[in-house]
Structure 1
């Protein structure tokens, strides 16, 4: 209760005294508000060649109910209140010649007070709170063919261009929910660099079809900065036979085409500024991606991840800006028998006194985010008219549901989120309040090989996002 009161007292001044901003308008329409102007350098007189800078910061205030046994710096904690930076990014990109596009992104993620903590650091090694920022993307593209909005490009570098789904390559500054469904970033920080891969690819818009195909040179699991999981009866990413990953995605646009400016990144919601209805299908495959022990034998498994989905984002009343956004997707996640990975976003805890057999990282806000099996994910939201709050913008409530059927979980695992966006200036200045309900698990005699759900925990997150 004291955390709730403290959080309320901290947040109230921001809601009451948030600076008034102009109503949301499309980026391409000039406006007096600074927040609707690009930070760009024109490289020719017409502005068709340019270089642009974008800054994004997402600050979190979070109250979390801890999973059983959770400790923070060695102390048991039933709940935590923490502050952090979910994402801090600088994007630099532009059309530097008629055919050449350059995109770079630099920043850091998940920075809170536990970010640099190592529970079992070697003697004499101190913790380092200066978490290094890094290049998320560094990619160049070349136009092979272009006619209006139709184009075919080839590209290469460190990139998010991906084959699985739109949420495997999300434009995080424009997502509708407070956070993305991270399970769709299927190999994040295991054999990739925060969802990015060293890839060569082609992407394009041809008629009603948008496509992307590519091959990626995956990173070895040993370089992800965490202790490598030992081989056991459950599949984990292999330490040998490292193979290339092949990926492809095909999207059919019934109505408007989507924004294809930056390499790969897909908009979360256009807030009614476009009329979009898509059918989408994607796949990622990698030979001998995981391994496990079967008696005295070592068994290798190919990884095959695929999805089919529908996406809708459209104005309901173009006269006042009211809009609807919705998504439904089915994901097949074949990593290898018994693969299961717990993950907690910007985990506010550091350890547990009640570890689960055959699972790691189960403390704090973690749940089985990735697993061998299948996932259904859906979300929906409604944006009210632009001037609902007068000069203070408008509101957009939403709900989301992730339902997973993993072979090491008894029954389906359901994670619910419900939230409210206060769009002071569209995505460029917005507050988001999110409630999450997730399951927790325990080992008990008689459970057998599957993990059993024992109850539910929740978290409340307040996010303030600003971008220019």
Structure 2
């Protein structure tokens, strides 16, 4: 134990893991603590933080137009004693701001929690099975998105399609199987469904509020026998360079470090996940079914250091009849895409990447559409390990007035 503690303090002198360079010419791998001579026994430590300054013009007169927040503050560790066993722990907080911080860091507003905790066992060279609070999700690449290396300011929000409904912040407690067959990768999972959902706490005794309304509260209302489990899977074929599936987190942009072209498809299915409340306040279950197809291309352009990153997806969302919650989770369909261009630069450290994104959604509950347009740029000072992002976003929902927001993000990842 004393030896391990000493190694943690001396970790800056330990051999790095070059597979985590993330586009940096000088990062040299970060903290990987070797526990034997060969390096087959190790502990890997990753930490990152994102700070936001945000400006909104369309706010009430008594609300500040400019606000600061800690978008993410995270730490992740994983370790192996041999190639057959792995344990991963990931904890941190999200969106800490002046409205939700705690006076002394405790109580109901304390936000530090486990994002991931799972155990994994190898099934030969290319396959593994694991269990715990995990991120081996279905639906699409963006529902498995890493927050370390996104190209846009943040993930497309509607792609994280189950956050707070059946899971804990996009993670389910369950069992997963993942692996590769040549250039084909897969991940499938059977998960427990949470009872404490974003729709919990509704007053079923008030017919004026609830009659004819679909709620995502299936397990809480029906019980685990009928609605306790959900099922997910994502499958993609890698035509060019093979991406790693050692961890579940999908890379947003390789900054010209790989030549990748993948097509994928995935699903999420929760039988009786939603309920509709009848006039007599009786409940009828409705299945939740979400599926998507997507394509991802990331490649250098020539020898001058430029590169392109492009992504597109179609996603169909069925949360139940006319389901809507917070303009985020809604029955309907979605088309989303983004593209970015890494500008040629002889400086190996500093790089610039303008990008644009577009989201178009059809929404059954309002019989109308919503659009989100974004344009921004990344300034990389050491790949994804140190960058600034400036983004303008315009959101139009149904016949409501368009809302605009400008965000500046500072990020460091070690």
The structural deviation recorded for 1:453 is 1.4
Match of 1:340 in 2: 324
> Of residues 313, 328, 339 in structure 2, which corresponds to 1:380?
339
Do 2:24 and 2:383's aligned partners in 1 also have CA atoms closer than 8 Å?
no
Match of 1:51 in 2: 43
Q: Aligned runs of 1:84-233 on 2, under 5 Å?
A: 84-115=69-100, 131-146=110-125, 151-221=126-196, 227-228=201-202, 230=204, 231-233=210-212
The structural deviation recorded for 1:285 is 0.3
Aligned mates of 1:92, 1:235 — CA distance in 2: 40
Match of 2:15 in 1: none
Q: CA RMSD in A?
A: 2.5
Aligned mates of 2:40, 2:188 — CA distance in 1: 27
The structural deviation recorded for 1:336 is 0.3
Match of 2:393 in 1: 436
User: Which whole-Å deviations, capped at 9, do the CAs of 1:20-52 have from their partners, x for residues lacking one?
Assistant: xxxxx974699994x333211112212233211
Match of 1:328 in 2: 312
Aligned mates of 2:115, 2:131 — CA distance in 1: 14
Give the 3-state SS of the residue equivalent to 2:142 in structure 1.
helix
Q: Aligned runs of 1:352-367 on 2, under 5 Å?
A: none
Aligned mates of 1:237, 1:29 — CA distance in 2: 38
Give the 3-state SS of the residue equivalent to 2:387 in structure 1.
strand
Question: Aligned residues, how many?
Answer: 383
Aligned mates of 2:147, 2:269 — CA distance in 1: 25
1:414 equivalent in alignment to 2:393: no
The structural deviation recorded for 1:191 is 2.1
Aligned mates of 2:202, 2:23 — CA distance in 1: 52
Match of 1:248 in 2: 233
CA 1:217–1:128 in 2, change beyond 3 Å: closer, same or farther?
A: closer
Aligned mates of 1:301, 1:377 — CA distance in 2: 26
Aligned mates of 2:154, 2:163 — CA distance in 1: 15
Range with greater deviation from structure 2 (90-99 or 306-315): 90-99
Match of 1:14 in 2: none
Structure 2 gaps of 5+ residues are 1-17, 205-209
CA 1:85–1:458 in 2, change beyond 3 Å: closer, same or farther?
A: same
Range with greater deviation from structure 2 (292-301 or 195-204): 292-301
The structural deviation recorded for 1:299 is 2.3
The structural deviation recorded for 1:187 is 1.5
CA 1:42–1:130 in 2, change beyond 3 Å: closer, same or farther?
A: same
Aligned mates of 1:340, 1:320 — CA distance in 2: 47
> Of residues 352, 358, 370 in structure 2, which corresponds to 1:401?
358
Aligned mates of 2:246, 2:85 — CA distance in 1: 12
What is the TM-score of this pair, normalised by structure 2?
0.87
Aligned mates of 2:24, 2:186 — CA distance in 1: 34
